[in-house]
Amino acid sequence: MKVQNKVIVVTGGGNGIGRELVLNLLAKGARVAAVDINESALQETVKLAGDKKDKLSTYVVNITDRDAVAALPEQVIAKHGVVDGIINNAGIIQPFVRVYDLDYAAIERVMNVNFYGALYMTKAFLPHLLKRPEAYIANTSSMGGFLPVPGQSIYGAAKAAVKLLTEGLHSELAHTNVGVTIIFPGAIGTNIAVNSGVGDSLKVDAESQQQQSFKVLPPSKAAEIIIDAIEKNKYRILVGPDAKFMDFIYRLNPQRAANFIFKQMQALLPK
């Protein structure tokens, strides 16, 4: 689906990939409804939109609030007249600890934001998307959604749920006007740790950072790759060289891939 002149809703539009998706869509001639729980972050996105800000609307919404999400489509339609697509991008990681040490409040928060937020958005907007001549759903999973990352097991479980939800939607909507893409980002240069409230648990010394096998992808480049995939109606998109490499290795030998990631990440786990 070409995004020019389309109305696209983007969750997590106040930061990171979400903000860059908003700006990329505006640059391509789309109208955008940016959704985020952080009002000041959304206002910063508006500033960055510059002369395109007239095509941008913002909504301060907690996507884990099902009633608030259910009310969102009518708000977007009241502003823009229609809605043609949604990009469920908002997400948070968990504290970098083993499942044994992770409390239920953190578990529920991670599942609610990453999985139920995407589900609520999809359920709320899909009836309206089905009425459009052409429409789209793109959901952000993670490299951790197909590959086990120690210390992020619940986050990975939530993103794996997003993966299968999205793949199921693709099959269910195959004979409709709604296209579906699943997105697997690798390491992207965002503030997800801080925005997730777990920044202090992700302290890594400079030497370890220098030993990383792959360069971190700028969020602007990630957004460019994602929008290109949507416009080409791709089934799945791997964002970043690490995501592509680990997808390849995981398909060849899942245990070897899991062991590789464990060796890369074990220094982050509490002893």
- Whether the CB-CB separation of 240 and 188 falls below 8 Å is answered with yes
- Whether the CB-CB separation of 138 and 85 falls below 8 Å is answered with yes
> What CA–CA distance (Å, rounded) separates 155 from 48?
30
Determine which one of 136, 155, 235, 250 is catalytic. Answer: 155
The residue among 216, 237, 214 whose CA lies nearest residue 163 is 237
- Whether the CB-CB separation of 263 and 246 falls below 8 Å is answered with no
> What CA–CA distance (Å, rounded) separates 107 from 75?
31
59 tagged catalytic: no
How many other C-beta atoms lie within 10 A of the C-beta of residue 99?
A: 12
The residue among 122, 119, 138, 121 whose CA lies nearest residue 30 is 138
> What CA–CA distance (Å, rounded) separates 112 from 102?
15
Q: Which two tokens stand for residue 163?
A: 């993966």
> What CA–CA distance (Å, rounded) separates 201 from 164?
29
The residue among 87, 86, 79, 74 whose CA lies nearest residue 58 is 79
The residues carrying an active-site annotation are 155
